[in-house]
């Protein structure tokens, strides 16, 4: 391990965007406020469970293993982390505030959440290959276990918010 104890190079939740989304969610009243708070908490749950995987990928030297490990570490950083960040940024845009109806894209956030779930399953399967260190295998298993229904729950939550007309309809 090195100086990365302070946190990941690329935060899962972009700080300014996320602080603003949390603030806006706290200002939303009634049912809309409750739903947007659930949305914020759901994304934060995902970040808590993916962060150890991300930090492990950043701290593990690719030279410790063969090409399979190198590709898996790149997959974590370049695919899983990037897709989660897209989900988080998209979810932040679903929280009511200035220009939110123009920026909100519920179907896109749902599609990215489903893609993240596929990536976690693919990564967990790849982590079982020979030459992958046990700590990487265990980190994938823990992330997958914690997130096994996360995407479905997020999609359902966004649908509920949309049904209550708290979000713009697709194409608005």
Rounded distance between C-alpha atoms, residue 141 and residue 123, angstroms: 9
pLDDT value, residue 30: 73
Cα 151 off chain centre by: 9
- The full set of domains in the chain, from first to last, is 10-163 (1.20.1410)
User: What pTM, to 2 d.p., does this model score?
Assistant: 0.86
142-162 CB burial, b ≥16 within 10 A, e <16: ebbebbeebbeebbebbeebb
Under the banding of pLDDT at 50, 70 and 90, the label for residue 82 is: very high
Report which of residues 101 and 6 the model is more confident about.
101
pLDDT value, residue 59: 86
Q: Angle at the Cα of 153 (from 151 to 154), degrees rounded to 5?
A: 65
pLDDT value, residue 165: 60
Contact 120, 58 (CB under 8 A): no
Mean pLDDT of 62-83: 85
Share the mean pLDDT of the chain. Answer: 85
Name which of 17-21, 103-107, 152-156 the model is least confident about: 103-107
Rounded distance between C-alpha atoms, residue 46 and residue 109, angstroms: 14
Contact 76, 136 (CB under 8 A): no
pLDDT(31) > 80:
no
Residue 59 CA: distances (Å) to CA of 8, 27, 84 = 9, 38, 19
């Amino acid at each position: 391990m090195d100086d990365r104890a302070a946190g990941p190079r690329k935060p899962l939740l972009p700080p300014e965007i996320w602080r603003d989304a949390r603030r806006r969610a706290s200002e939303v009243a009634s049912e809309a406020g409750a739903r947007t708070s659930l949305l914020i908490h759901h994304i934060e749950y995902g970040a808590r469970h993916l962060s150890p995987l991300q930090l492990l990928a950043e701290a593990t030297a690719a030279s410790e293993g063969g090409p399979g490990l190198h590709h898996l570490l790149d997959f974590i950083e370049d695919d899983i982390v990037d897709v989660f960040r897209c989900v988080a940024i998209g979810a932040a845009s679903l929280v009511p505030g200035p220009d939110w109806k123009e920026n909100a894209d519920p179907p896109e956030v749902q599609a990215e959440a489903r893609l993240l779930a596929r990536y976690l399953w693919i990564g967990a399967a790849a982590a079982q290959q020979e030459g992958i260190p046990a700590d990487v295998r265990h980190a994938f298993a823990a992330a997958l276990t914690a997130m096994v229904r996360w995407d479905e729950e997020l999609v359902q939550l966004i649908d509920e918010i949309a049904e209550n007309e708290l979000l713009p309809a697709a194409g608005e």
